[in-house]
Amino acid sequence: MRKIQFALLFALSVLLAGAAVADGSGWDRHDAVREAVGDATPQLGQLRMQMPSVSEDGSAVPLEISIDHPMTDGDYIESIRVFATANPNPEVVDFYLTPLMGRAEVSSRVRVNESQTLYAVAHSSSGDVFVASSDVRVTVGGCLMTSDDDIAEFGQPRVAPPRNLAAGQPGEVRTLVTHPMETGLREGPDGELLPRRMIDTLIVEFEGDTVLTVKMHTAVSENPYMRFFMAPETSGNAVFRWTEEESGDTVEEQMAFNLS
Amino acid sequence: MPHTEWVLIAGLILGLLFGAVGQQTGFCLLRGLKNRWVEGDGRKLRAFALAMAVALLGTQALAVLAPIDLGASVHPQRTLSLLIPIGGVLFGLGMVMANGCGARSLVLLGTGNLRSLVVLLCLGIAAYMTMSGVLANGRLAVEGAVQFRLPAATWWQWLASLGMDGQLARWLVTVVLVVLLSAYALANSAFRRSGRDLAGGLLIGLLIPAGWWITGVLGDDVFDPVRLASLSFVAPIGDSLQYLMISTGISLTFPVAVVAGIVAGSFALSLITGGLHWQGFDSPRHIRRSVLGGVLMGIGGVMALGCSIGQGLTGFSTLAISAWLALGGIVLGAWLGVRPLKSWVSP
């Protein structure tokens, strides 16, 4: 009997230890994360970061970050930045949020080069800092998928508006734009480095006010997908604008939000 | 309810149907080939040919009407490697040793056949070893070394590249193959009288376009598309084992739902019809044969990008050229196992 109890206790402690690994601890071992945290002492365990633990092919790994935190003018989450410390460039994507979003929850799809721990750092307007982390294991792919000849062009913006919209209630918005997100680090079929071509930002405005700014880095997947919330108080027009780095070309999509 | 959940529910139903039909009709490529070669009874083989015809017609009609771009699935690829036919041969050999392919083993497991449990465990582990585990780097290295490029990914696109109208080429190839296959199947009066084999060929054939419809239409979402696929049983058996082990870290997918459905469907029908019989191994040699058979099917199936169902019906239904190489390899492997290597693969 005592042996069984001991075994149970041991199993429980192993489980708890496992749960403690991915709460954001260890952030101070990485320069990029340390710089993003700044001088503050971050709070662990409140920011949630969800990624699949195993990914076959790391070129588009789903990422979701959320936190239960007020989004009012007085106190709101103003930024969420994501870092992949073992990628060639640790910066993944930066979200600059506003109270107009109503809820601090964002998702995207990102590139993860090898098995590693990813970190998210969130700052609130009142000066609190939150850190979360997620362990991702990347394995080689199962299919022979060699992307054939088609190179994606910048364009075809797609926006899915919230399903039911009520004044001041956060509604889910999903966006996608076609773009190769070429990092400049990859070789083409002829062995030459493919030139860098990236989207710099996605800016979302509602009736002239900025709702969300997303700064993209090389680890954002091809055809960037962004999911977030908007909580308009009145009916109005939203503008979604993607801007390409270097060329400065933009692609824009407008959408009317009609509150019932 | 999000579209991904509809896909899972539909996948489970698809699996239940496959399990029930497979349990009742004994639909199986290996059984068909063995009966044909050893006893001269071609009914089960003709059932497979009928399923190929139905799957091809249904899938091509769906691709045009829905429409679905089948090019987004793994089968129609221009860059192929010699591992596809070689993997097919290994799979065919393994199928003879294990006395049934992956799908058949799932159906048999539902009837209380515990030998197929061993086959399935070995198949799933060997598939993942080859796909992303200890054999993966070797596979990728060899794959890169023996690659070649086809003029087109599918037979009809190849005709189209020679100057024929695309739609005309698609239907010409489809109709010719459907007529040939159904003529072969239905020419035999013993097959026409065998309701069980007729139903098996027809229903299993229909489940292939149903699978395409589930992932290609139900699962179609601009922002979060489900991976386009239909029935296939090598990686999905590995996926199912992986899901059992690490479900907290990964999400449920269509292939896993299908696998679960097949075992459940076959088991349910066995309970209802009284076909549930627990069976095990007769001898250690028998275990060895099942283990080796499962391992060969897992390794070969990943190299060939599919099994007798995954390439023979699903891949074939896309008119992909790769499916012919894989199916040819599987039939050759089965022939080697049944004839020249008989003493080596039998207990």
Domain boundaries, chain B: 3-345
- What is residue A10's predicted lDDT score, i.e. its pLDDT? 63
Which domains are assigned to chain A? 21-257 (2.60.40.10)
**C-alpha to C-alpha distances, A248 to A201, A243, B144, nearest whole angstrom:** 10, 6, 39
CA A135, A141, A142, A148 dihedral sign is positive
The answer to whether B337 touches B93, Cβ cutoff 8 Å, is: yes
In the chain, the amino acid numbered A244 is E
Amino acid identity for residue B63 in this structure: A
- pLDDT at residue A258 greater than cutoff 90: no
Average pLDDT, chain A: 87
pLDDT band at A4 (very low <50, low <70, confident <90, very high): low
Q: Mean pLDDT over residues A168-172, rounded? A: 92
Integer Cα distance of A134 and A123 in angstroms = 18
Select the residue from A143, A145, A150 to test the B interface by mutation, using most B Cβ atoms within 10 A: A143
**Residue-wise pLDDT tens digits, A198-213:** 999 999 999 999 999 9
CA distance linking residue B100 with residue B110, whole number of Å:
14
Q: Is residue A205 within 8 Å of A239, Cβ to Cβ?
A: yes
Residue whose C-alpha is closest to residue B288's, from B234, B335, B345:
B345
CA distance A229 to B17: 40
Nearest CA in chain B to A176: B223
Which residues of chain B lie closer than 8 angstroms to A225, CB-CB?
A: 223-224
**Position of tokens 């799908």?**
B103
The alpha-carbon gap from B248 to the nearest alpha carbon of chain A, in Å, equals: 8
B132/A142 CB distance under 8 A: yes
Contact yes or no for A227 and B246 at CB 8 A: no
pTM: 0.86
Chain B positions touching A143 (Cβ under 8 A) are 74, 305
CA-based nearest distance B155→chain A, Å? 18
Nearest Cα to A77, choosing from A86, A85, A68? Answer: A68
Report the gap between the CA of B24 and the closest CA in chain A (Å): 33
Q: CA neighbours within 13 Å on the CB side: how many for B282? A: 3
The CA distance from B161 to B121, in Å, is 44
pLDDT at B77: 87
Q: What is the pLDDT of residues B89-139, one digit of tens each?
A: 999 999 999 999 999 999 999 999 999 999 999 999 999 999 989 999 899
To probe the interface with B, which of A144, A158, A187 has the most B CB atoms within 10 Å? Answer: A144
Segment A230-245, tens digit of pLDDT: 999 999 999 999 999 9
Q: Which residue has the tokens 């918005």?
A: A173
- Per-residue confidence (pLDDT) for residue B299, from 0 to 100: 97
Q: SS3 sequence, A44-73?
A: ECCCEEECCCEEECCCCEEEEEECCCCCCC
- According to the model, what pLDDT value does residue A145 have? 46
Q: Give me the tens of pLDDT residue by residue for chain B, a chain 347 residues long.
A: 889 999 999 999 999 999 999 999 999 999 999 999 999 999 999 999 999 999 999 999 999 999 999 998 989 988 899 999 999 999 999 999 999 999 999 999 999 999 999 999 999 999 999 998 999 989 989 988 898 889 999 999 999 999 889 999 999 999 999 999 999 999 999 999 999 999 999 999 999 999 999 999 999 988 888 999 999 999 999 999 999 998 988 889 999 999 999 999 999 999 999 989 999 999 999 999 999 999 999 999 999 999 999 999 999 999 999 999 999 999 999 999 998 888 877 75
Q: Which chain A residue has its CA at the smallest distance from B246's CA?
A: A53
Higher-confidence residue: A7 or A252?
A: A252
Using CA atoms, how far apart are residues A209 and B193, in angstroms rounded to an integer? Answer: 74
**Closest chain B residue to A56, measured at CA:** B132
Facing residue for A54 by CB, picked from B137, B222, B246: B246
